[in-house]
């Protein structure tokens, strides 16, 4: 039995070969490739390049309180190559549509419209039904053509920074495509005019469909005003939920930037259900018809969901993703956002794109959807890298100690090393991230220049801002670096290297924090103690370290940025 998908599944052979080749090139960075060349290949020329993949019926999967293994295919085997991910992503998409969002149809029979320097019109016709909507355009200075960021609802996104970074702002009213305040059996807006008021598709998928139709029109416009291959999407709160779904479901979107998306957004459903103060899933489902009708049966039992949002994060991979969260408002569930981001980052890492994802919840102000100074530089750098294709910054994880997360508490699976040639795992990202971080010196630029080299990319040997060596027991060495620092806190990273000629089976790092320092969040290892003398042991998935191999763990701590002392590394 196969799922039935209401989107084109058969391509001309020449188109399929061309797209498959491009997809593979995007997923497999070649040895020696620069971040700029890798980033330039991330957005694909098609909305869904896995539309031809056969998706078997999974039946009724057993309930699981842990995050599902994103690398396990529906036939029970695991993804083993980067090229496997294309059809595994199609499986995740299908499951997400069926259980979470409702179906997001592909391109209608007819999409027409116009692009001017001030606006975009969209007109669609499908199976005898038609609808239309429009969006305004605000261009930056210069002659163009320009990349563009679709901004949901004109609320919360830093449009001034987008424009000064060199991208146009497309102000998109999602309510024209799917209105809030309607009953689930009487949904309204352009999407439902075409697909029916009783469609089981929720508003988030309907809004994402609208973004895709805007991109269709930009593609048809000839590229004299807006470029067709450099589109981003962003929004805050409910619009952050929408931006996240749009970026996950359209592979032409080069950069996705959800802000404070809360329950029903980035936050892992299984974690939301257990996070104190977070908006319950039942509340997010009933507040508005954001999520698909089918999700109602899972609100009280998210463990039965066949997918979770770390896999939706993985649907964006290897394209650019900047997730911004607010840890000061419990209702927004920022801890669950960090869980999903850390889980999704493992998919980025496996695809050799660890430097293409950033998660940032370390902000001072608790105001909801505020324009924040902490995010200005990351937004600029992401636009430069993924839309203008002139930047080479690497991703970072800045997780607030208020809402720390530990991925090891949420998974039983390990991240595979995927074959397919080129540089795999975290090696290329670690090299790039470390180099950039050491160049920028560990300040604001270093935050997004070198942090993710170790936290999500896998290997890192460089330093940004300062480093200190560790004791070598003849088998392993631990080396510390301060990745970045701010008033009242800092982020550190420790690289563990196997100096032996055979693989290690486990490692332990000891170190002493300076007075007043306290670890609020640690990833890539399991710590005993949070202040003073502490030990960090490997997670089950990173204890086996090949000869001359390197693995890292990172942490966020409060207090001064003084480097830990007495760093040691031992192995059994």
Mind telling me the catalytic residues? 237, 368
Token pair for residue 509? 């790092």
State how far the Cα of 55 lies from the Cα of 191, in Å rounded to an integer. Answer: 26
CA angle centred on 268, ends 185 and 243, rounded to 5°: 60
DSSP secondary structure, 481-494, as one string = EEEEEETTEEEEEE
State how far the Cα of 439 lies from the Cα of 134, in Å rounded to an integer. Answer: 44
3-state helix, strand, coil in the chain (%, to 5): 30, 25, 45
Q: Which residues contact 544 (CB under 8 A, 6 or more apart)?
A: 503, 504, 505
- The alpha carbon of 72 is separated from its chain's Cα centroid by a whole number of angstroms, namely 19
State how far the Cα of 381 lies from the Cα of 133, in Å rounded to an integer. Answer: 32
Report helix, strand or coil for 294: helix
Q: Using alpha carbons only, how large is the chain's radius of gyration in Å?
A: 23
State how far the Cα of 469 lies from the Cα of 492, in Å rounded to an integer. Answer: 13
Residue 468: how many other CB atoms lie within 10 Å: 17
State how far the Cα of 290 lies from the Cα of 310, in Å rounded to an integer. Answer: 19
State how far the Cα of 492 lies from the Cα of 480, in Å rounded to an integer. Answer: 7
110 strand-pairing partners: 125
Report helix, strand or coil for 443: coil
- By residue count, the chain amounts to 572
- The alpha carbon of 492 is separated from its chain's Cα centroid by a whole number of angstroms, namely 22
Token pair for residue 332? 């927004």
Task: Label the pairing between strands 533-537 and 129-138.
Answer: unpaired
477 strand-pairing partners: 497
Nearest to 38 by CA among 79, 84, 82: 82
Whether cis (ω within 30° of 0) applies to the bond prior to 258 is no
Q: Which residues contact 305 (CB under 8 A, 6 or more apart)?
A: 68, 99, 100, 269, 270, 298
State how far the Cα of 284 lies from the Cα of 291, in Å rounded to an integer. Answer: 8
Residue 179 parent element (H or E): none
Nearest to 189 by CA among 201, 175, 200: 175
């Amino acid at each position: 039995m196969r799922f039935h998908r209401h989107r084109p599944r058969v391509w001309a052979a020449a188109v399929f070969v061309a797209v498959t080749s491009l997809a593979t090139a995007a997923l497999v960075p070649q040895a020696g490739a620069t971040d700029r060349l890798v980033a330039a290949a991330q957005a694909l020329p098609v909305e869904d390049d896995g539309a031809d993949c056969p998706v078997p019926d999974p039946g009724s999967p057993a309930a699981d309180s842990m995050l599902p293994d994103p690398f396990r295919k529906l036939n029970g085997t695991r993804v083993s190559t980067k090229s496997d991910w294309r059809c595994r992503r199609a499986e995740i998409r299908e499951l997400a549509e069926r259980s979470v969002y409702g179906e997001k149809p592909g391109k209608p029979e007819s999409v027409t419209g116009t692009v001017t320097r001030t606006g975009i019109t969209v007109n669609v016709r499908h199976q005898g039904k038609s609808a239309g909507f429009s969006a305004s355009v605000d261009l930056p200075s210069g002659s163009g053509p320009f990349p563009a960021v679709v901004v949901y609802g004109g609320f919360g996104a830093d449009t001034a920074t987008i424009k000064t970074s060199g991208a146009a702002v497309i102000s998109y009213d999602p309510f024209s495509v799917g209105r809030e305040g309607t009953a689930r059996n009487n949904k309204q807006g352009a999407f439902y005019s075409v697909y029916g008021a009783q469609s089981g598709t929720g508003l988030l998928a309907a809004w994402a469909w609208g973004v895709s139709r805007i991109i269709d029109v930009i593609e048809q416009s000839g590229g004299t005003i807006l470029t067709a291959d450099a589109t981003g999407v962003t929004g805050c709160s409910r619009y952050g939920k929408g931006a996240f779904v749009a970026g996950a479901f359209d592979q032409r979107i080069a950069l996705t930037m959800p802000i404070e998306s809360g329950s029903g957004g980035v936050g892992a459903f299984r974690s939301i259900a257990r996070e104190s103060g977070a908006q319950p899933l039942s509340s997010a489902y009933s507040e508005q018809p954001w999520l698909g009708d089918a999700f109602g049966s899972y609100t009280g039992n998210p463990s039965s969901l066949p997918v979770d949002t770390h896999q939706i994060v993985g649907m964006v991979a290897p394209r650019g993703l900047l997730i911004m969260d607010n840890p000061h408002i419990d209702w927004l569930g920022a801890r669950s956002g960090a869980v999903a981001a850390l889980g999704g980052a493992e998919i980025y890492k496996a695809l050799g794109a660890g430097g293409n994802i950033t998660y940032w919840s370390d902000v001072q102000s608790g105001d909801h959807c505020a324009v924040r100074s902490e995010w200005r530089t990351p937004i600029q750098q992401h636009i430069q890298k993924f839309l203008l294709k002139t930047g080479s910054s690497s991703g970072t994880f800045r997780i607030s100690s208020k809402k720390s997360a530990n991925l090891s508490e949420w998974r039983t699976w390990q991240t595979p090393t995927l074959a397919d040639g080129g540089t795999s795992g975290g090696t290329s990202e670690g090299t790039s991230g470390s180099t950039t971080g050491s160049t920028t010196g560990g300040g604001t630029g270093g935050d997004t220049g070198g942090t993710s080299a170790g936290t999500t990319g896998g290997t890192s040997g460089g330093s940004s801002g300062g480093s200190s060596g560790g004791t070598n027991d003849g088998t392993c060495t631990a080396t510390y670096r301060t990745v970045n620092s701010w008033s009242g806190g800092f982020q550190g990273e420790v690289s563990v290297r196997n100096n032996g000629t055979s693989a290690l089976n486990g490692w332990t790092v000891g170190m002493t924090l300076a007075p007043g320092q306290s670890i609020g969040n640690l990833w890539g290892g399991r710590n005993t103690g949070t202040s003073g003398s502490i030990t960090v042991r490997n997670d089950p998935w990173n204890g086996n370290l090949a000869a001359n191999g390197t693995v890292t763990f990172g942490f966020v701590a409060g207090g001064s940025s003084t480097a830990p002392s007495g760093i040691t590394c031992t192995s059994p």
